[in-house]
């Protein structure tokens, strides 16, 4: 059990003020025995209540004592008895005032505890809203990027190369979109097995039988992810090989996964 969280939950105040249920009181008393920190927190709160009650007590006027003595010197025995009863009445009023202060303090503490609980609920709700907002922003950004990608590969200057799987991975499939005007290259991974952590896929442009490095890529968990690769001034075909992480200056032809012509 996290002792500090337990103490901060308001159980100490509920117990001392008599607001705790029978089950909560039994558990609290057990914890007071088992954990010195809980007992210390209870004693500290009890002292705080006592201190605030004393500070809130109404003291009798300073002139009252002198007035009583003056009356004693000028009245008879009957008046003396009445004067002797005055401090008792004053003490009764002090007790009533102290009790009223205690009730007000207890009500204030109960209100503060309720407000604290509501604030915690509000904070949890606010955090949930912020999380949902972040997810919404991320989704909106992703959809905006997908829209921009779709517009980019639908230009009239785009040529497409469908790359089918080789004997290494017959089920693999990917598509290259090459802009003949801007020379931008976009790669859509339709189906490629996820490589081991020490390997990466690398795209190659093939021109007159010579491979040209087009960059490596990290397979994304997002579906239909379009990758922006290096520009290609000219190309006749494209292929993807599996290389060591970071890429290779030359392709490993025995690890070619897909290939396709423009």
- 178 shares a domain with 120: no
- 95 shares a domain with 165: no
How many domains does the chain fold into? 2
- 125 shares a domain with 7: yes
**Angle, to 10 degrees, between the axis of helix 36-56 and the axis of helix 77-152?**
130
Give every CB contact of residue 184 below 8 A, 6+ residues apart in sequence.
Answer: 152, 178, 228, 231
The pair of structure tokens assigned to 211 is 């491979």
- 213 shares a domain with 176: yes
Q: Does residue 137 form part of some domain?
A: no
Q: Does residue 139 form part of some domain?
A: no
pLDDT digit string (tens) for 145-185? Answer: 778 777 888 899 999 999 999 999 999 999 999 999 999 99
- 181 shares a domain with 71: no
Distance CA 120, CA 102 (A): 27
What is the pLDDT, as a whole number, of residue 4?
85
- 168 shares a domain with 94: no
Say whether pTM exceeds 0.75.
no
Full residue range of the structural domain in which residue 104 is found: 3-130
pLDDT along the chain (262 residues), means of 10: 83 80 90 90 81 57 56 50 47 60 70 76 83 78 75 89 96 95 94 92 95 92 81 96 96 96 92
What is the pLDDT, as a whole number, of residue 160?
94
- 252 shares a domain with 174: yes
């Amino acid at each position: 059990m996290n002792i500090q969280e337990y103490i901060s939950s308001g159980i100490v105040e509920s117990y001392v003020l008599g607001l705790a249920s029978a089950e909560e009181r039994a558990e609290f008393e057990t914890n007071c025995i088992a954990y010195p920190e809980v007992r210390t927190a209870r004693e500290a709160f009890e002292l705080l209540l006592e201190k605030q009650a004393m500070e809130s007590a109404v003291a009798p006027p300073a002139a009252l004592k002198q007035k009583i003595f003056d009356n004693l010197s000028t009245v008879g025995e009957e008046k003396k008895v009445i004067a002797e009863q005055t401090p008792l009445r004053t003490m009764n009023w002090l007790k009533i005032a102290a009790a009223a202060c205690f009730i007000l303090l207890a009500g204030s503490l109960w209100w503060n505890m309720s407000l604290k609980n509501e604030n915690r609920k509000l904070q949890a709700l606010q955090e949930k809203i912020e999380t949902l907002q972040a997810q919404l922003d991320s989704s909106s950004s992703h959809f905006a990027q997908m829209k921009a990608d779709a517009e980019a590969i639908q230009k009239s200057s785009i040529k497409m190369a469908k790359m089918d799987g080789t004997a290494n991975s017959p089920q693999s499939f990917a598509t290259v979109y090459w802009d003949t005007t801007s020379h931008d290259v976009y790669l859509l991974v339709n189906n490629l097995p996820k490589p081991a952590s020490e390997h990466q896929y690398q795209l190659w442009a093939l021109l007159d039988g010579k491979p040209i490095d087009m960059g490596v890529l990290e397979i994304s968990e997002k579906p239909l992810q379009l990758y922006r690769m290096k520009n290609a001034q000219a190309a006749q075909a494209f292929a993807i090989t599996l290389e060591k992480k970071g890429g290779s200056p030359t392709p490993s032809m025995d690890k070619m996964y897909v290939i396709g012509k423009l």
